[in-house]
């Protein structure tokens, strides 16, 4: 059953001038046919999902055509020329990201002549209080060309995330500490991380780790064999 309302009144006026008799009739119909509400909600949810899927697909196609928009200023493991780009949205405090980092490292090492990894920050601050500070520290390390070393150190000591680890790791990597502290507390660090998060939201990313490989998107701490299977698929495109 579909209920259609017609009115020549403006929406604001219509809301305040509904005939009481009609209002009671509508209420009675809804009481007798609650499926009307359910069907309407389901149609709306389906429409929203389809629109979101279309937007995500369009954005993925755009990123494939202009990969520099995907990479932006993010850390990359090597030259992207004639390589397949694997983009990872990750959170340094996420345990699944910690597990995935080891698999990703194996995959990149094995196929370094054909694949490059791009790291995108997506700290889930609501559930991981150290994710954002860790992201800022890693961004600062990248400013001194030490991102991947810092990245590995944070994931290898994930349970110790905190100020003392950020400083100790920077010192172990012989970073300029004055610059490191200045950079991680800078507005530039905040902007860079927020740009990654904005892209993640546009892609509909809701959790980490989240990966993009050409037109394929997948998430979770998948195994090496799954990476290789997807790699084989996109290599044929």
- From 25-29, 55-59, 230-234, the region with the lowest mean pLDDT: 55-59
For residue 77, CA distances in Å to 1, 21, 103, 170, 191 come to 57, 69, 15, 20, 22
**C-alpha angle 111-149-217 in degrees, rounded to nearest 5:** 45
**DSSP characters over 64-109:** HH-HHHHHTT--BSS--TT-EEEEEEE-TT-HHHHHHHHHHHHHHH
Instruction: Give the pLDDT confidence of 162-215 residue by residue, as tens digits.
Output: 999 999 999 999 999 999 999 999 999 999 999 999 999 999 898 999 999 998
The CATH class that applies to domain 67-235 reads: alpha beta
Q: Which residue ranges make up each domain of the chain?
A: 67-235
Closest alpha carbon to 218 in 200, 102, 227: 227
β-strands 210-213, 216-219 pairing:
antiparallel
| Residue 113 in this model has a pLDDT that exceeds 70 | yes
Phi and psi, residue 205, nearest 5°: -70, 130
> Between 24 and 155, where is the model more confident?
155
Residue 206 DSSP label = -
The C-alpha torsion from 180 through 162 and 203 to 108, rounded to 10°, is 80
**pTM (predicted TM-score):** 0.77
What is the reported pLDDT for 5?
37
């Amino acid at each position: 059953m579909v209920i259609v309302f017609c009115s020549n009144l403006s929406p604001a006026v219509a809301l305040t001038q509904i005939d009481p008799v009609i209002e009671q009739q509508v209420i009675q119909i809804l009481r007798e046919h609650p499926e009307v509400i359910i069907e309407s909600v389901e149609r709306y949810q389906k429409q929203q999902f389809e629109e979101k899927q279309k937007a995500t697909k369009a954005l993925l196609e755009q990123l494939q055509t202009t990969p520099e928009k995907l990479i932006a200023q993010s850390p990359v493991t090597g030259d992207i020329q004639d390589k397949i780009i694997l983009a990872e949205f990750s959170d340094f405090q996420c345990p699944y990201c910690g597990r995935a980092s080891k698999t990703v490292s194996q995959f990149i090492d094995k196929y370094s002549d054909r694949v490059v990894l791009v790291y995108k920050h997506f700290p889930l601050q609501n559930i991981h209080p150290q994710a954002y500070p860790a992201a800022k520290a890693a961004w600062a390390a990248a400013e001194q060309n030490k991102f991947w070393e810092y990245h590995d150190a944070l994931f290898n000591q994930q349970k110790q995330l905190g100020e003392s680890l950020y400083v100790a790791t920077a010192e172990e990597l012989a970073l300029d500490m004055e610059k490191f502290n200045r950079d991680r507390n800078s507005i530039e660090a905040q902007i860079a991380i927020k740009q990654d998060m904005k892209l993640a939201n546009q892609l509909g990313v809701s959790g980490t780790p989240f990966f993009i490989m050409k037109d394929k998107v997948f998430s979770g701490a998948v195994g090496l064999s799954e990476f290789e299977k997807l790699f084989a698929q996109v290599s044929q495109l």
